Amino acid sequence: MATAKESELKDHDFDPNNFLLIESEKNKTVFNVIEDDNEIYEYEVITKNPDKENEKIQVNKYSIKNSKRNDLIESTEELVNSKPSLSTRASCKGKNGTQISWAGTRATLYLDSCTTKKIVNIIEGGYGSTGAIASIAGALKAAGKFAKFVPYIGAISGILFFAGSAIKLISGNGKYGIGYHMVRNPLTGDIYHANGIPWRQ
C-alpha cells in the first residue's frame, strides 16, 4: 500500500517526460517543457558576466508555434547572490554536492536543508516561472559545491522548479536536505531530465 507521501507525490510530482533538453553550453541552456495547460514552452537560461561580481542569470520563456520558437512571453534577470557565511552553513542539515555514477549515466545532486529551504521559498514566492528559475540558478551558483554541473545549472534549475511540490513534501518544507537523480549522457555530460523523485538526506 502506498504511504500518504507516495500518494501525494503521484498527484504533484513533475513528469520528466514533459522536460526536453534542447541545448546546453557552459553559459546557456535551452529546454522545452509541457506545462499544465498542455502547451509546449521553450526556456532559455543565460549566464551573463560569469564568475564576476556582477554575474547575472537571465531566463526567457517563449511560446512554440509550428515546432519553432515564437513570441517572448516572459523574461527575468537575477543577480547571483554572494555565498552565505560558514556559520550559517554549519547549521544546515545534509550536504551540498554532486556525484556521477552508473558508468556516467546518472548524475546526483545533493542539496542541504539551507539550499533546499531557499529553493522552496523561491518556488512559493510568486516569482513566475522565469523569475523562479533564475532565482534557483542564482541560489545554486551561490551555494557552491556544484562545479561539475555548472554548465547545466539552467536545466537543473528548471527541473527543480517544475518538481517543486515533490521537493517541498520530501524536504518537510525545507527542514531537511534532499538528493535528486538525473539522467546523464556519459559521452557529452548533458543532463536530460530527472530520474524518479527526490529523496530526503
192: pLDDT strictly greater than 80: no
Give the pLDDT band (50/70/90) at residue 48: very high
116: pLDDT strictly greater than 60: yes
| Nearest one of 134, 129, 154, 133 to 23, comparing CA atoms | 154
pTM over 0.75? The answer is yes
14: pLDDT strictly greater than 60: no
d(CA 40, CA 38): 7
Residue showing cell 500518504: 4
Contact 115, 109 (CB under 8 A): no
Give burial (CB, 10 Å; 0-12/13-18/19+) of 109: buried
Question: What confidence score (pLDDT) does residue 88 get?
Answer: 58
Beta bridge partners of 45: 29, 59
| 7 grid coordinates | 500518494
Contact 174, 167 (CB under 8 A): no
